[in-house]
Amino acid sequence: MLAIGSRAPEFTLPDQDERNVSLTTLLNKGSLVLYFYPADFTPGCTREACMLRDMHTEILSAGLSVAGVSPQAPERHTEFREKYKLPFTLLADTEKFVINMYDVDGPLGLGVRRVTYLIDQARVIRAALRADFRISQHEEFVRRATLLSGHARPIN
């Protein structure tokens, strides 16, 4: 996991519509909740995505946006977004290039760790959480991020 206070690496990945999206583009509207998850349609990942969907209005009201990254193809992300009515971007990292850059690859290179970052518009990581099986910790993390609404204090 990348350290709080470090600079988030720039990247460009295809979204669910196969459009290339960069970190800079995602940050155009404000700070970003960037979350990494293992796979679409798995129980934990579905629960996490639906939690973010249900909080989306609150997230936007705080001046934040959300994007998810996993190794599935754009078509799979499209199906996942449509089935669960997800209003945020899902990015396809099929080669796990960004997953490795953000140090969220699973043990022995298998899978992806469940990690959420709060990144400000200067690309500084303001907060980070790794909790592979505790979706409730990610929900609390996002709630605290919305309260801070992009201020430059780390979340403890």
Based on C-alpha coordinates, what's the Rg of the chain? 14
Burial class (CB in 10 A: 0-12, 13-18, 19+), 126: buried
Q: Which of 68, 70, 71, 112 is nearest to 87 (CA)?
A: 68
pLDDT of amino acid 151: 44
Mean pLDDT of 35-52: 94
Per residue in 92-117, pLDDT tens? 999 999 999 999 998 877 889 899 99
0.85 exceeded by the pTM? yes
Active-site pick, 13, 45, 67, 104: 45
CATH no., domain 12-148: 3.40.30.10
- Return the biggest CA–CA distance within the chain: 39
Please provide the distance, in angstroms rounded to a whole number, between the alpha carbons at the two ends of the chain: 16
d(CA 97, CA 106): 13
Please indicate whether residue 45 is annotated as part of the active site.
yes
**What is the three-class DSSP state of 66?**
strand
Strands (E), the chain: 12-14, 20-22, 32-36, 65-70, 89-92, 115-119, 125-130
CB atoms within 10 A of CB 89: 22
Ordered by start, the domain boundaries in the chain are: 12-148
Residue with tokens 């303001």: 126
Give mean pLDDT, residues 4-25: 97
Return the higher-pLDDT residue of 151 and 81: 81
Does residue 156 have a pLDDT over 80?
no
- Sign for the CA dihedral angle at 131, 141, 103, 47 comes to positive
